[in-house]
Amino acid sequence: MVVTGTRVILSQASFAPTPRSETVLEGVDAKAEPGRITVVVGANAVGKTTMLRSVAGLLRLRSGRIVLEGDDGVSVEAHRLPPRARAARIALLSQRVRLPAGFGVEESVEMGRHALPRNPRRVRDAIERFALGDLRFRSVETLSVGQQQRVGLARTLAQHEPGGVMLLDEPFAALDLRETARAVAVLRGVAAAGGTVLASVHDLGLAARFGEDVWLLDRGRLVAAGEVAEVLNRPRLEEVFGSEAIALAGLAGGVSEAFE
């Protein structure tokens, strides 16, 4: 049962991948709401990964604030949370899934609970939801890249606590169409149960199908934030990606129209 929801609020947030790096995104104001899926889209190297890692509290902002606000109105900055409290509030899937060598699938999924109380039922459920039951005793080194991605997703799901935030950096990378559909269904279930899902998605068509809200990034700024159908229209897509790229992708009418 969902205890509370968590709203992610960015206020004039400016991001840099390291303390000595140039700022990649400036002055971002946006919200990710509980019970909804928010997708982050933009060109390569626009700052999507840096943003997600900052929301997770792993990187410090250059300026501004990111707060997690509960239904009770109490707000906290993620980087100020102790590790265990942060793990209970935020589950992060990195763009490059890292699975330690020498462990089996089930053990790797269990690692999602390493900073939290053990919960074998949740671990089993995560394994089943990503159809990893037949692989659970396989060593992760023997898996394909797509299978390893599913293990990473299952590990993130096992960590996710009701009402918390799930951050996903390119969660569908290396997945085939069937497994992508499975992952989309699972993550929609997380949102339907009150979780806040914030994910970077490279494929615009998939982003439009998967997301309900979208943050569109371009050249160091947040171009627009809102519902997918309102934001991913032809003028904005051409501004960010160019008319030739949109036509090549078969999205000349805009994502919201092309995927109705």
Residue 213: which pLDDT band, with cuts at 50, 70 and 90? very high
Tens digit of each residue's pLDDT (9 = 90 or more) over 169-204: 999 999 999 999 999 999 999 999 999 999 999 988
Mean pLDDT calculated for residue range 126-141 = 96
- Residue 40 — very low, low, confident or very high, per pLDDT cuts 50/70/90? very high
pLDDT > 90: what percent of the chain? 76
221-241: pLDDT as tens digits: 999 999 998 998 888 888 888
Considering 13-22, 24-33, 92-101, 234-243, the range whose residues carry the highest mean pLDDT is 24-33
The larger pLDDT score, comparing residue 193 to residue 260, is at 193
* Residue 63, CA distances (Å) to 10, 26, 219 in order: 11, 8, 18
**Bridge partners for 166 per DSSP:** 91, 197
CA-CA distances (angstroms) from residue 136 to 110, 121, 122, 163, 236?
11, 14, 14, 27, 44
Instruction: Judge whether residue 31 has pLDDT over 70.
Output: yes
pTM for this predicted structure = 0.92
Closest-CA residue to 21 (of 79, 62, 65, 66): 62
Under CATH, which architecture does the 6-258 domain have?
A: 3-Layer(aba) Sandwich (3.40)
pLDDT band, residue 52 (cuts 50/70/90)? very high
pLDDT of 236: 86
Average pLDDT rounded to a whole number, residues 139-156:
96
Q: E strands along the chain, which residues?
A: 6-15, 25-32, 37-41, 63-70, 75-76, 90-93, 165-169, 196-200, 213-218, 221-227
Looking at the predicted structure, is the pLDDT value of residue 60 above 60?
yes
pLDDT tier for residue 74 given thresholds of 50, 70 and 90: confident
At 150, the pLDDT band (50, 70, 90 cuts) reads very high
If you average pLDDT over every residue of the chain, what do you get? 91
- Say what the pLDDT of residue 73 is: 79
Rounded Cα–Cα distance for residues 99 and 231 (Å) = 36
Q: Give me the residue spans of the domains in the chain.
A: 6-258
Q: What is the pLDDT of residue 241?
A: 86
- Comparing CA positions, the residue from 232, 194, 172 lying closest to residue 41 is 232
> In the predicted model, what is the mean pLDDT of residues 17-33?
94
As a whole number, mean pLDDT of residues 58-68 equals: 95
